Amino acid sequence: MCVEISRNQEHGMGSHARHAELKHRILQPHQSLSQHFKMGWLWTTPTPASTSTTPSPIFPPDQKDNGPPPLPQPAPEAASSKPLSSDEIADKELNSFLQELSADTRPSSTKYSRIGRSTPQTSSPTSQALSNAPISEQLLPTTMSCREAFDSAFYCNSFGGKFQDIYRSGSLQPCSEHWSKFWFCMRTRQWSGPEKEEAIRGYYRKVEAKKYAEGSSEDLWKSREQKVPVDTAFKVKFEPFPGESDEEWNRLEREHREAEKKRLLGHT
């Protein structure tokens, strides 16, 4: 009986050993195949690089949804930049000066802006007194452009201005009057309205008095001091011609001119 039990135990142990050996033989090819596939030895090719056409994001992950990227800032000028010459500095100062002068004459844009109705303004005592003044006083300017005065003075000193002097006057003309006008405009530039208008009117009054002091056209023609009333110009009625033909009219006209010439020569 003991011999039978030992045989059974040996038979059980042998069956377990055979089962373990069979399991090892079955699993060993699968393990070697898995290792081969992992190492890429059996019919496997290395995975190619991604050829996707989807563009990669430009922005960093933390800035992708935070709005547009900041604009590139201009690089600061190098400390060792070339210093400006005296001519370049003078050109810059002249350009800034001309821009300052142009600010007075540049009209403000009224496009797309609604312009209200102008309210009737009551005439001031100054305007009433000016309306009663002689026409020569009413025609005096009340505004002056500093930019135009500067351009006129600058052109007077240029080659073109001197050529114009020789062409018109036969000799070179001084530019002091042009520069005087410019500096007068600069002095009165910041003045108040009525004071500035009166100063400009006085300036042009002196200019006309100096210009027409001698050899004025008033030696031959009497200046009109008042405005012509409405519907009265070219309404003079001529006397009817007593003659009957053009030859007679021409004869009378020649006689009239001869009489006027003798009268003028007699007075001189």
At 82 the pLDDT is 77
Q: Report the C-alpha gap between 208 and 200 in whole angstroms.
A: 12
Domain boundaries, the chain: 1-39, 134-212
Contact present, 150 and 242 (Cβ < 8 Å): no
Q: Report the C-alpha gap between 104 and 151 in whole angstroms.
A: 14
Kindly report, residue by residue over 77-99, the tens digit of the pLDDT.
544 567 888 778 878 877 777 77
pTM, rounded to two decimals = 0.44
Q: How confident is the model at residue 122 (pLDDT cuts 50, 70, 90)?
A: low
Kindly report, residue by residue over 174-230, the tens digit of the pLDDT.
999 999 999 999 999 889 889 999 999 999 999 988 887 776 666 667 777 777 788
In percent, the amount of the chain with pLDDT more than 90 equals 24
Contact present, 259 and 251 (Cβ < 8 Å): no
Q: Report the C-alpha gap between 134 and 226 in whole angstroms.
A: 6
Tokens of 35: 């290792």
Kindly report, residue by residue over 228-264, the tens digit of the pLDDT.
788 888 887 777 777 778 888 888 889 989 998 888 8
Contact present, 131 and 138 (Cβ < 8 Å): yes
